[in-house]
């Protein structure tokens, strides 16, 4: 779990659960928002990582 | 009764916390600062409270396990001061870790910066949770 990817996934999971719970009222909506934030964080990091790898 | 107040009444009746007694926003804020999720727990949002407590305390513990440091207040270094402020935004875990002698910070550990990030973000997220609990207590947000 101490790989960059593992730590990033752990961090994204924690942050997305808190924001999902904070910003929505029903469990279904909370889960949906948390999933979107998690995918956004991890996917965004992948995209930015590849851009930096290819460009620099 | 105006349309707005009818809507508010309907919203309050439909929320699970509508039957919970009202508490002072100051009390809610102080408790939410000390124990993550306590402000929501007081107001009847038990599921949210448990989620906040488990996740935020876990983040703080992960930060310590990764070798993160609990920074002291140093007015000479603004960034260190801000980090200390963020870590103190989640009071009870910060106090327990301080008393337990954890959080010395292992600078040579690969995960040192990750640990600091987890510690800081857990405090900042608890500040957001605190504000949400106070908003519910003052009526700015439906209970």
What confidence category does residue A24 fall into, taking pLDDT thresholds of 50, 70 and 90?
very high
How confident is the model over B26-69, as pLDDT tens digits? Answer: 999 999 999 999 999 999 999 999 999 999 999 999 999 999 99
Residues comprising chain B, all counted? 143
pTM here? 0.87
- Residue A6 forms contact with B (CB below 8 Å): no
What confidence category does residue A1 fall into, taking pLDDT thresholds of 50, 70 and 90?
low
Q: CA-CA distance, A42 to B10, in Å (whole number)?
A: 39
Chain A residues touching residue B131 (CB < 8 angstroms)? none
Instruction: Decide if B118 and A11 are in contact by the 8 Å CB cutoff.
Output: yes
Domain residue spans in chain A? Answer: 4-55
In 3D space, the residue among B53, B55, B114 whose CA is nearest the CA of residue A38 turns out to be: B55
What confidence category does residue B1 fall into, taking pLDDT thresholds of 50, 70 and 90?
very low
Least CB–CB distance from B52: residue in A2, A7, A21: A21
């Amino acid at each position: 779990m101490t790989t960059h990817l593992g730590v990033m996934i752990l961090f994204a999971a924690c942050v997305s659960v808190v924001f999902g719970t904070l910003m929505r009222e029903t469990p279904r909506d909370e889960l949906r928002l948390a999933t979107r934030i998690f995918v956004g964080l991890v996917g965004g990091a992948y995209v930015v990582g590849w851009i930096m790898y290819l460009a620099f | 009764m105006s349309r707005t107040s009818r809507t508010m009444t309907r919203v309050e009746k439909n929320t699970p916390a509508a039957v919970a007694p009202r508490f002072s926003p100051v009390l809610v804020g102080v408790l939410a600062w000390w124990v993550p999720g306590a402000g929501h727990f007081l107001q009847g949002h038990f599921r949210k409270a448990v989620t906040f407590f488990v996740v935020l305390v876990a983040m703080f513990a992960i930060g310590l396990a990764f070798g993160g440091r609990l920074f002291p207040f140093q007015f000479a270094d603004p960034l260190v001061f801000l980090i200390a402020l963020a870590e103190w935004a989640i009071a009870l875990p910060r106090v327990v870790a301080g008393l337990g002698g954890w959080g010395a910070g292992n600078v040579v550990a690969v995960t040192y910066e990750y640990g600091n990030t987890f510690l800081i973000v857990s405090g900042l997220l608890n500040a957001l949770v605190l504000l949400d609990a106070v908003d519910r207590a003052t009526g700015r947000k439906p209970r």
